[in-house]
Chains A and B, each alone.
Chain A
């Protein structure tokens, strides 16, 4: 069982928006602004898409955005495109054990 809780799957149609949640505790998500999000296509390494809750690295599409409220962080993808179909992972620095990841969410673009 992963330390951060994500839905196992979400789906959306091209052009729509979806949101993936990531719920933790006061020791991780709720205790700092270190949440990051990663996109992983099958057979590929993860790619950073959001860091420090809501910051986008250079080169990442504006369609990806992040936020946080209390113990839950969220990743929103707007204007869904077929290429967004992938697995998404959240992570957070934790005062207890370094870094914890979520269990991952499979996004299907139908």
Chain B
């Protein structure tokens, strides 16, 4: 059974750096074809894909946020970490991690999400 769980701070201040951790089970990121993505959803708004890391440690980012994001994986811990710099109130959202298909990038299994509020 594949499960994912996000963890991180619920509140960050503007200009701070956000670090979120996705801890997963039921698959190994080192297995060929495995990928994990981060997706966010501001309150009452649509989903937005942020970043993806694959089994080869190749990384991909949404163009609009590329300069602020870093995604990394720790295969020994079954974790994927997302770092977002220079946080702004507009970044307030629920952040999800999801197992991602390597061919057509659909999100097969999602974590429960973690709400991050950016406020001073």
Which of A's residues lie within 8 Å of B, judged by CB? Answer: 2, 32-34, 36, 38, 45-48, 51-52, 57, 89, 91, 93, 96-104
**CA A57 – CA B107 in complex, angstroms?**
11
Which of B's residues lie within 8 Å of A, judged by CB? Answer: 37, 46-49, 52, 60-64, 96, 101, 103-113
Partner of B104, one of A45, A89, A93, A97: A93
CB of B107 to closest CB in A, whole Å: 6
Closest B residue to A32 using CB positions: B104
Partner of A98, one of B52, B110, B112: B52
**CA A26 – CA B62 in complex, angstroms?**
18
Whether B110 pairs with A101 at a CB distance below 8 angstroms is no
Whether B106 pairs with A2 at a CB distance below 8 angstroms is no
Closest A residue to B99 using CB positions: A48
A93 partner residues in chain B, CB cutoff 8 A:
104-105
Given contacts A2-B46, A101-B49, contact A91 B106 (CB under 8 A): yes
Partner of B46, one of A36, A51, A89: A89
Closest A residue to B37 using CB positions: A99
B52 partner residues in chain A, CB cutoff 8 A:
98-99
B104 partner residues in chain A, CB cutoff 8 A:
32-34, 36, 51-52, 93
**CA A33 – CA B64 in complex, angstroms?**
24
Whether B107 pairs with A36 at a CB distance below 8 angstroms is yes
**CA A101 – CA B109 in complex, angstroms?**
16
Closest B residue to A104 using CB positions: B46
**CA A38 – CA B109 in complex, angstroms?**
11
